Chains A and B, each alone.
Chain A
Amino acid sequence: MSAHDPLLGFRAPLAPDGLRERALAAARRAAAEPAPRVSWVDVLWESRWLWRVWAGTVAFLLVAYIWVGRSLSPALDQDRARGDGATIAALRADDGVIGAVGPLWSQERAAVAWGVLDREDWLSR
């Protein structure tokens, strides 16, 4: 600390009178009681890491959804116009972009979502 320290000459506030008795009495009462049961649900709920993983997963899926959509939309539009599903067939052949994202983003699901494949037809396979 230097003479230019703006807090030089000051101290932190002291704990007020009476708080000591109150806090220690509460602690002794707590020690005499059985410890409350803490469930794993509570632990996970309080865990900031859980929320980070959850937020990260949502962000990843959102980015993947947008990326896949932007990547495939033009080709799927052409498929729809031609009515041949060539893009889906090509993706199925080399297990390309959509397959890499995971089962949720399978070629058939994407094709149904973009209207290239008929939903009933897909469900009946």
Chain B
Amino acid sequence: MDKDGAEVTAMAMTEAKVVEFPVSEAQAVSDERLLCALRNVAAGNLDALDEIWRLCADDFYGLALWSTGSRADAEDAVQEVFVRLVRTAGRVASARCPRAYLLAMVRRAALDARRRRRDVALDDPAALVGPAGDPAARLDENRVSSLVARLAPKLREAVFLRHFAELTFADAARVMGVPTFTAASRYRLALRRLRDWMGVER
């Protein structure tokens, strides 16, 4: 989860509420750069699309791939979002969380692709995760991918949005169009299942 070595978010759930701590400084800077790029695109400067790509492409592709399970559909979804982006950049820039708004666009495009195909089976489970830093993890890469593929699509989305896209539960919930508690529950349920399947102690 931690791309820059700093703890990004922490979460504590009580029976009464979901408590979320603020995102990291690096994430805030990234969001600020994204906002500038979106405003530039809205003003007609298409070179800013490169900056948006650098900031978001991996998250876009990852979410689309975890949602559709198909690399071809995921690529189509990402392309579709960039096409829509040049026409709606101004609206996206005025959103409360532009990154979440863009991820919602990706999710919708991915859902459209999934509906067209009517087959949610993942065509290449090995592509769902990659090793990050620890060479020992490479041994389990295929196993983890196949376990992630066993999760229901809505649970996979919750894990991706929270774990890899590093959204808060509130923003992840907006992306998925569900209440915050539902997003948190899906995330916790998905991790619990992965732990159980992997035999990881809690």
Contacts and interface: CB of A to CB of B under 8 A. Distances in A.
Interface string A3-46: 01111111111111001101110111011000100000000000
Contacts of A30: 83, 86-87
Interface stretch (B31-39, B52-60, B91-99): B52-60
B75 A7 contact: no
A1 interface: yes
Given A4-B195, A16-B75, A10 B46 contact: no
Contacts, number: 111
B173 to A, nearest CB: 15
Interface in B124-139: 127-134, 136-137
A100 B59 CA distance: 53
B83 A22 contact: no
Contacts of B129: 7, 10-13
A9 to B, nearest CB: 4
Contacts of B202: 4
Interface stretch (B18-26, B113-121, B158-166): B158-166
Interface residues of B, number: 49
A19 B79 CA distance: 8
Interface in B74-91: 75, 78-79, 82-83, 85-87
Contacts of B198: 6
B57 A5 contact: no
Main secondary structure of the interface of B (DSSP, over half): helix
Given A6-B191, A23-B82, A15 B50 contact: no
A10 B65 CA distance: 16
Nearest to B177: A48
A31 to B, nearest CB: 4
A14 B58 contact: yes
Given A12-B58, A12-B129, A4 B75 contact: no
Nearest to A20: B53
B53 A6 contact: no
Contact of A13 (B62, B136, B191, B194): B62
B131 A9 contact: yes
Contacts of A4: 195, 200-202
B169 interface: no
Given A13-B61, A31-B46, A5 B86 contact: no
B183 interface: no
- Counting chain A CB atoms within 10 Å of each CB, which of B86, B129, B177, B194 scores highest? B86
In the complex, the 7 A-B pairs of residues with the closest C-beta atoms, listed nearest first: A12-B62, A9-B137, A11-B132, A12-B164, A15-B61, A6-B194, A27-B82
7 contacts: A6-B195, A15-B57, A27-B46, A27-B49, A27-B86, A28-B86, A30-B83
Given A12-B160, A12-B164, 17 more contacts: A1-B7, A4-B201, A6-B198, A7-B1, A7-B159, A13-B62, A13-B65, A15-B60, A15-B78, A16-B75, A20-B57, A26-B79, A27-B83, A28-B46, A30-B83, A31-B86, A48-B177
